[in-house]
Structures are given as structure tokens and as C-alpha cells.
């Protein structure tokens, strides 16, 4: 095959003369690209006799390998030259003062707690707090949870140590923030409208459960409150929290000792591309439990169930934080990893509010 020596000389010289990587890429395409001259020569092999192919084929392959080697060597030389130029022109004065420490960031749990508080405050709910070490009566009995209920077992609840022979009722690390509702009713009476955010404790630990987590519960009691009011409040909350206009909730009948009737609440959503989108799609996601306050709970709170009625609801702050901000593992909330916090944290001066936006 004629012209191979001239082809070799042309491209070896071109590689040597290339002044930057763009010029080198042009030469590569002209020589060994799919439509390059050597590729066209390769196609001519199909028109040759077996004897000619056996003679010319190795020569073409050797030429292709030689040009590729020359291209790789030149590319490495250009990269080294560029690095040397950067090292010559870029420098750092190590005598300058150190960079200031980055500003602190707000943990997602704190951020979401503030977001939830802002939303319910706009609907007239006050914030109520209570002790994390609770009496057995406030945590269970006053909430109509019977003595044989599984939640009262040591497998699920952390009981405080009692001296041998101590006859006093036991104390527990509260398993929910519902005892705050009892304390609020006993202190304030009715009508009442409060939310109760805070830490709670249960003996569980996996990707979606930890021994300590955060809940927020809501309570509204008056003379004319119904499930319709509950539905409106939850719809407004979901719309504001997820910052979407269209919300569809589904109430499924359930059972909780402290409410009657009781319902678990799902939101319509989609998981397209592994990302949660609220208010669209054909999937449903459970987010909270709710219902009308049981008459026995009202009585325990010192409120006449023949005169007053109300609704209550509860949700996990950690869970709704994971859903809104795409956090895959609950255990990472407690790892004290600053890299994680820099990724998911919030600027300390950006306070959530409904006017300026919750998650700016």
C-alpha cells in the first residue's frame, strides 16, 4: 500500500508541533478517528487478496499504534507543561492569617421544629412543653393505655430504676409527647389549642428508628370541634410544610387508645426518580396518626367530655425531616459528623416563616 511512509511522517510531525490539547485532538481525529486517514486505509483491506492483507495489515496496525503512542506522549507533555506553568504563577503566602472558621449551621431537626412551630402558630396553636422523665400515670394511664398494652412492656419502654421494695408508681422516659397534652389540659383547661414538640424515647434502633427521637403532637379542644376541623388543619400543615399548592390526604381507620375515632393519615405522592413529590402521582405515604380525643382522656385532663370535644394528632419530626430534605438514614442525625451537617444544615440567620419561606 502506497503512501504509508508519507502518512507516518505527516502525523508524527503534526503531533510534535501541536501547541495545546485542542490541536492534538484535531490531529487524533484526522489520523486515527473513525473517519481518519488510517481508518480509511483499514477499510481498503477488504478489497485485497488474502496475501496482500497478510502483508499490509500488520503495517497499518503498527502505524496506528505508533501514532497513538505519539499522541499519548505529547498529551502527557502538554499536561506537565500546564502544571508547571500553574506552579510558577500560583503561590500562597503562608505568613497570612488563617482563614476564619465557617459559620455554624442549624441541625435539620432544629430547623424542622421551627418550621412546624411557625406553621401551627399561624393557625393559632401555642407551644407547650413538659418533662422528659414522666410518671407512669401521665405517660400511660391518663392516656387510656391499659396495663396489658405492649407499649408498657420493658421491651419497648425505658423505666427508671427503683430501689427494692419501693411501692411508688414507676417513672419512665416518655415514649411520646402526649403526656404534655395531659399536663396542658390540667393546667389550662378548655378551650385549648397547643402543639407539643420534644424528645421521646423507645427501645428501638435501626435505619428508621432510634432510642431517642423527636415528635410533635397537636391538641385542640372546644365545644364544636369535629373531624372536619382536623382534616383542614392537617391539609394546611402539609401544604405549608412541603411548600406545594395541591395536597390530597387519605384518612384510614385505625386504633389508638387515646383517640376515638382514630385515623392514620396518608398523603398522595410519587417517587419518580427516587425523589419524593407530594401532591401528585399514584402512591400514598403515611405521615401521622390522628383522631378525636377519647372521653376518658378528657376526663383525666380535668375536662368535661359531655361539654367539650377535640382532636389530636402526632408525627415524627425526624421522619418528616427525612422526607422533605431527602435524608436516607435516621441514624446519621446523631453521628455528630460535621460534613453531614454542612451538607444538610441550615444557615443560622435564616429563620423559617410563612411570609419569607420555610426552607430558604
What would the 3-class secondary structure string for the chain be? CCCHHHHHHHHHHHHHHCCCHHHHHHHHHHHHCCCCHHHHHHHHHHHCCHHHHHHHHHHHHHHHHHHHHHHHHHHHHHHHHHHHHHHHHCCCCCCCCCCCCCCCEECHHHHHHHHHHHHHHHCCCEECCCCCEEEHHHHCHHHCCCCCCHHHCCCCCCECCCCCCCCCCCEEECCCCHHHHHHHHHHHCCCEEEEEEEEEECCCCECCECCEEEEEEEEEEECCCCHHHHHHHHHHHHHHHCCCCCCCEEEEEEEECCEEEEEEEEEEEECHHHCCEECCCCEEEEEEEEEEECHHHHHHCCCCCCCCEEEEEEEEHHHHHHHHHCCCCHHHHHCCCHHHHHHHCEECCCCCECCCECCC
pTM of full prediction above 0.85: no
CATH number for domain 106-347, candidates 3.20.20.70, 3.90.1150.10, 2.60.40.10, 3.30.930.10: 3.30.930.10
Would you give per-residue pLDDT tens digits along the chain (360 residues)?
Answer: 557 777 778 878 888 888 888 888 888 888 888 777 777 777 777 777 877 777 777 877 887 888 888 888 888 888 888 888 888 888 777 787 777 766 778 889 999 999 999 999 999 999 999 999 999 899 998 998 987 787 777 777 888 887 777 777 788 899 999 999 999 999 999 899 999 999 999 887 666 667 888 999 999 999 999 999 999 999 999 999 988 888 889 999 999 999 999 999 999 988 877 778 888 888 898 999 999 999 999 999 999 999 999 999 999 999 999 888 888 888 888 888 888 888 888 877 777 777 656 665
Amino acid at each position: 500500500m502506497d503512501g504509508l511512509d508519507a502518512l507516518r511522517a505527516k502525523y508524527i510531525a503534526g503531533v510534535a508541533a501541536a501547541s495545546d490539547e485542542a490541536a492534538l485532538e484535531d490531529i487524533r481525529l484526522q489520523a486515527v478517528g473513525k473517519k481518519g486517514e488510517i481508518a480509511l486505509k483499514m477499510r481498503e483491506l477488504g478489497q485485497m487478496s488474502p496475501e496482500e492483507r497478510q502483508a499490509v495489515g500488520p503495517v497499518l496496525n503498527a502505524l496506528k499504534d505508533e501514532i497513538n503512542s505519539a499522541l499519548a506522549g505529547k498529551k502527557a507533555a502538554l499536561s506537565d507543561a500546564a502544571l508547571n506553568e500553574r506552579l510558577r504563577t500560583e503561590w500562597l503566602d503562608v505568613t497570612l492569617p488563617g482563614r476564619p472558621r465557617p459559620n455554624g449551621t442549624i441541625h435539620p431537626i432544629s430547623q424542622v421544629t421551627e418550621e412546624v412551630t411557625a406553621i401551627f402558630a399561624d393557625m393559632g396553636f401555642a407551644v407547650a412543653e413538659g418533662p422528659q422523665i414522666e410518671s407512669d400515670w401521665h405517660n400511660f394511664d391518663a392516656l387510656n393505655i391499659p396495663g396489658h398494652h405492649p407499649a408498657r412492656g420493658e421491651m419497648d419502654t425505658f423505666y427508671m430504676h427503683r430501689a427494692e421494695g419501693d411501692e411508688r408508681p414507676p417513672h419512665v422516659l416518655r415514649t411520646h409527647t402526649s403526656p404534655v397534652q395531659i399536663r396542658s389540659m390540667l393546667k389550662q383547661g378548655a378551650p385549648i389549642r397547643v402543639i407539643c414538640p420534644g424528645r421521646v424515647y423507645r427501645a428501638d434502633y435501626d435505619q428508621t428508628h432510634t432510642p431517642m427521637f423527636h415528635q410533635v403532637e397537636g391538641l385542640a379542644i372546644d365545644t364544636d370541634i369535629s373531624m372536619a376541623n382536623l382534616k383542614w388543619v392537617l391539609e394546611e400543615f402539609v401544604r405549608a410544610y412541603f411548600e406545594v399548592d395541591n395536597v390530597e390526604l387519605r384518612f384510614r381507620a385505625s386504633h389508638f387508645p387515646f383517640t376515638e375515632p382514630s385515623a392514620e393519615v396518608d398523603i398522595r405522592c410519587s417517587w419518580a426518580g427516587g425523589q419524593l413529590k407530594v401532591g401528585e402521582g399514584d402512591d400514598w405515604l403515611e405521615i401521622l396518626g390522628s383522631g378525636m380525643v377519647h372521653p376518658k382522656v378528657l376526663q383525666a385532663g380535668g375536662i368535661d367530655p359531655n361539654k367539650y370535644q377535640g382532636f389530636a394528632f402526632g408525627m415524627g419530626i425526624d421522619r418528616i425531616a427525612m422526607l422533605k430534605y431527602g435524608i436516607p438514614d435516621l441514624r446519621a442525625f446523631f453521628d455528630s459528623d460535621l460534613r453531614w451537617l454542612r451538607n444538610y444544615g441550615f444557615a443560622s440567620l435564616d429563620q423559617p416563616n410563612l411570609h419569607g419561606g420555610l426552607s430558604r
